[in-house]
Amino acid sequence: MLSYRHAFHAGNHADVLKHFVTIQLLQYLNQKDTAYSYIDTHSGAGVYALDGTFASKNAEYDTGIGPLWERTDLPPELKEYVDLIRAMNPSGKMRYYPGSPYIADQVAREHDRLRLFELHPADSKLLADNFRKLEEHAAEQGIRPTVRGKRVLVTRGDGFQSLKALLPPPSRRALVLIDPPYEDKQDYKKVKDTLAEALVRFPGGTYAVWYPLLQRMESRQFADKLKQLQCGEWLNVVLTTHTPQPDGFGLHSSGMFILNPPYTLEPMLKQVMPYLVKALAKDSGARFTLESGTPTPLRGNGMASTRTPRAAAPGTSRNAPLSAARNTPLGAPRNAPAGTGRPTGPGAPRAGGPANGRPGVARPATDGRNTGPRRPVNRQK
């Protein structure tokens, strides 16, 4: 399905969670000199114009980057994310918002490799044009590559099908971001099947999956199914900004599920998520859930046991995506390419090593709930 355009949802609370976590995953990989690959299976357009027709239609950025834009008390990890966006808006006005490919381009090092896939013809063209503009701007500044080979490759194609050909990467280090629209319920199955095959080919990789929390059963069961994948460890963080609407419309919650997460991620999220909940809360239903654990070992028939203990997770949410339309390329200065968006319908929104043989274990979840003007409470369950 090629109707989804992410420009309609650029900069919303789901993007904040996805992008600030992605930056931390990349920075962890940066701690070693060895090069790594960043693989984005659903890249979008790379950069979005918040004052453009698509993004301004529903102004979803007011639920995400908007409330953080003028904050001066940001935790260091959130400040790094916001500073990256401020750098592409030198006038001080919030006009451009980066997609995951642009963020990876800015955070990754020169000798790291970006492999970007986008199936939508318009978004794929915008993505390629945006990175071409970045290269041209660098050349105008006298900046020349110091490493051999193409650093960024943009491919119009199905990221699900294309991923396996890139694994394992030459350096045996990679971050894979999987972020489909989920407007087609088959996307949930495709994500799990793609990850299962990827873990066989490259069990030591770090895999990050963004997903919405919706009314449909596939969404409600998604995280529990990912917990069965045979990785080293998993981590699941969910951000809820408001109570679900009675009609089920509107994205109130989304999650990032990480397979083989760095050991630094969970303690960082315990510190930052209470702040993020308070900053983005729309009502007393705002909260976060943070849980981690190891997968259930496979049974003799090759199937994962269904007895995986699960940590407390947020309640199921009812919500549906917003509809999307067309987007147009934008002429952007350096660090500011063009943008688009994905549509969603009433039932769907958009925006390690093998198992160690121990019984499945889920560590306690941390549930942060905003109760109004008071500081959100972090509770261990």
Name the token pair of 312: 């407390």
Asked if 198 and 260 count as a contact pair (C-beta separation under 8 A), the reply is: no
Which residue type occupies 296?
A: T
User: Within 13 A of 73's CA, how many CA atoms are on the CB side?
Assistant: 5
Burial class (CB in 10 A: 0-12, 13-18, 19+), 218: middle
Asked if 10 and 341 count as a contact pair (C-beta separation under 8 A), the reply is: yes
Active site residue 224: no
Name the token pair of 160: 């699900």
Name the token pair of 327: 């987007």
CA 327 to chain centre: 21
Please give the angle made by the CA atoms of 335, 181 and 273, to the nearest 5 degrees. 70
Q: Where are the alpha helices (DSSP H) in 230-364?
A: 265-280
Q: How far apart are CA 267 and CA 209, in angstroms?
A: 19
Of 112, 179, 187, 367, which residue is the catalytic one?
179
Asked if 178 and 195 count as a contact pair (C-beta separation under 8 A), the reply is: yes
- Smallest CA-to-CA distance from 120 within 326, 323, 348, 322 is with 326
Asked if 292 and 227 count as a contact pair (C-beta separation under 8 A), the reply is: no
> Hey, what long-range contacts does 133-136 have (CB within 8 A, 24 or more apart)?
133/332, 133/334, 133/337, 134/105, 134/334, 134/335, 134/337
User: Within 13 A of 99's CA, how many CA atoms are on the CB side?
Assistant: 35
Backbone torsions φ then ψ of 17, nearest 5 degrees: -60, -50
Query: Residues with catalytic annotation?
Result: 179
